[in-house]
Structure 1
Amino acid sequence: MTPVILLAAEKESAEVTDWAARIGWLVGLALFVALVYWLMREGWKWRGTLQGDLPELPTAPEDPGPARLTLSGRYHGSTTAGQWLDRIVAHGLGSRSRVELTLTDAGLDVVRPGASDFFVPLAALREARLDKGIAGKVLTEGGLLVLTWAHGDRLLDSGFRSDQASEHHEWVDAINSMIETTTTEGAER
């Protein structure tokens, strides 16, 4: 006796019978996502309002002098100095972007395509260090160049990452040396 092989009939998916319930759930989910996005946006704007006392960002002088160092990479944002999660959003400082940094004897020129450029005078620079994180970005130890600088009556930390991470040490050494020289010259006067 030969075994009989029965072929299963072609499977069909069950028909959707309650279109109104499915559409209702999709509309509800879309409204929930839109509400969460709107609340996040309002929070960002509120943070900018709270930081409204921050003065306008300085612009580069007409002739800042020859470039000591240049860096191409990413700007990851600014925070209150020492508080790596307290993001500063006023004047576009919270917007991530590409960046071109130029260090001169006058200070640091920060050029950000698609965001507002700014200049940090040498007298405002306080420290350069390597760190692992700033609000919204965490990297390996030493993967982020963080510059502490004074703006108005606040100290800010701004985070940068070079396309060539090996450049970070050179930047830290150069900036800290310039700050130390400026501080020493100021104390001698």
Structure 2
Amino acid sequence: MDWLMPVAISLGTIAVVIALGALGWRARLARQSDIAAPSPAPETLSDPAYLANGQYVVTTTAGDWLDRIAVHSLGVKSNATASVHDEGILIVRSGARDLFISRPDLRGVRLDRGMAGKFVEKDGLVVFTWTLNGTAVDTGFRTREAAARTRLLDAAAALAPAAPSTSPAQVHNPTKDTQ
């Protein structure tokens, strides 16, 4: 019976930590309740310029890789497929609503080391910077294969405007890279 007290204290501590995490998540949801849901994908999309399997990492406030967007299941990591179309980028997520980044909303695309919930090797994530109903956000995607990362980056960068809103050192701009 000497082990009963330490086990009870450990279980109580774990329960308190879980409860505090749940309260924090609920507070984040309440704080972000004014962020409208992403627009759905158009009924018909052009054939994909590129398609990559991988993992949807998270959507955060642009420039703040720790400020996770919790509303509309944008803060939940999941397996996904990203496809680049003339109309924008479609991320089909398992267990969560699909995410469509329309071409006019896309502000830039870059490679990065990590975001809230996922840290990988240098330039291991493809990060799309876009506006979600007026809020600037970053969405991270990790491709399954390293070679697919560059092809996804190039296809998405072709949709991005010529003058990116993020740091020029971080944004992939194929026209600038060839000059």
- Shorter-chain TM-score range: 0.7 to 0.9
Question: 1:141 aligned to 2:108?
Answer: no
Identify unmatched segments of 5+ residues in structure 2.
165-179
The answer on whether the counterparts of 2:51 and 2:152 sit within 8 Å (CA) in structure 1 is: no
Residues matched between the structures, number: 164
Return the match for 2:35 from 54, 58, 70.
54
Letter in 2 for 1:78: T
Supply the distance in 2 between the matched residues of 1:93 and 1:161 (Cα, whole angstroms).
15
Supply the distance in 2 between the matched residues of 1:34 and 1:60 (Cα, whole angstroms).
40
Supply the distance in 2 between the matched residues of 1:30 and 1:180 (Cα, whole angstroms).
52
Over 3 Å off, 4+ runs: none
Q: Percent identity, aligned pairs only?
A: 34
Could you tell me which residue of structure 2 aligns to residue 106 of structure 1? 87
More helix by share: 1
Return the match for 1:160 from 141, 144, 159.
141
Letter in 2 for 1:145: V
Question: Deviation of residue 156 (structure 1)?
Answer: 0.6
Could you tell me which residue of structure 2 aligns to residue 67 of structure 1? 48
Structure label with greater radius of gyration: 1
Greater relative contact order: 1 or 2 (C-alpha under 8 angstroms, separation 6 or more)? 2
Return the match for 1:31 from 12, 20, 24.
12
Question: Deviation of residue 152 (structure 1)?
Answer: 1.2
Supply the distance in 2 between the matched residues of 1:102 and 1:123 (Cα, whole angstroms).
16
Q: Deviations over 1:69-91 (max 9, x none)?
A: 10110011011111111111111
Return the TM-score normalized by structure 2: 0.86
Question: Deviation of residue 168 (structure 1)?
Answer: 1.6
Question: Deviation of residue 60 (structure 1)?
Answer: 1.1
Letter in 2 for 1:62: E
Return the match for 1:173 from 154, 157, 168.
154
* SS of corresponding position for 1:36: helix
Letter in 2 for 1:177: A
